[in-house]
Amino acid sequence: MKFLHTMIRVKNLDASLHFYCELLGLKEVRRYDNEKGRFSLIFLAAAEDFEMAQKTQAPTIELTYNWDPEDYQGGRNFGHLAFLVDNIYESCKTLQDGGVTINRPPRDGHMAFVRSPDNISIELLQRGDALPPQEPWLSLANSGEW
């Protein structure tokens, strides 16, 4: 058995690509537009997985964008996606500067949670040992649910 991808339906493709690619740093591996079915599939991979994903099509996140408007419910019941980051403080700062709320700040230098534009919970974990606690993260309270 081999893990292939996780599919997430998105309402606003531009906002989702901005979040996942420009703010989180994922890269587009491939795209499939189906005019008859009126949907697009965009497969993304983390930078460290990008080369493998180009060769094997895995592991990826599949953003499914239906061209006709739909209202998707849920998010929390999905659980979360998790990404290992080189510097959790820098990653959170990039997201925050991009207008993303840090729902669970990295007060411990190890873990943080944010939400995608479609309310998918995203966990960020510090690579290696936790970084020493530092401001402004140390004093930030949780916001919303994560």
- CATH code of the domain in which 83 resides: 3.10.180.10
Q: Is 75 a residue whose pLDDT tops 70?
A: no
Q: Could you read off the pLDDT of 27-61 as tens digits, one per residue?
A: 999 999 999 999 999 999 999 999 999 999 999 99
Please identify every residue annotated as catalytic. Answer: 123
User: What is the token pair recorded at 18?
Assistant: 């901005």
Q: How many domains does the chain have?
A: 2
pTM of the model: 0.83
Q: Which residues are annotated as a binding site for Zn(2+)?
A: 62, 80, 123
Residue 143: inside a domain, yes or no?
A: no
Q: 103 and 50 in one domain?
A: no
Strands of the chain, DSSP E: 5-10, 27-34, 39-45, 60-66, 80-85, 102-104, 111-115, 121-126
> Residue 7: CB partners within 8 Å, gap ≥ 6?
61, 62, 64
Q: 57 and 13 in one domain?
A: yes
Q: Could you read off the pLDDT of 108-131 as tens digits, one per residue?
A: 999 999 999 988 889 999 999 999
Q: Which residues are annotated as a binding site?
A: 62, 80, 123
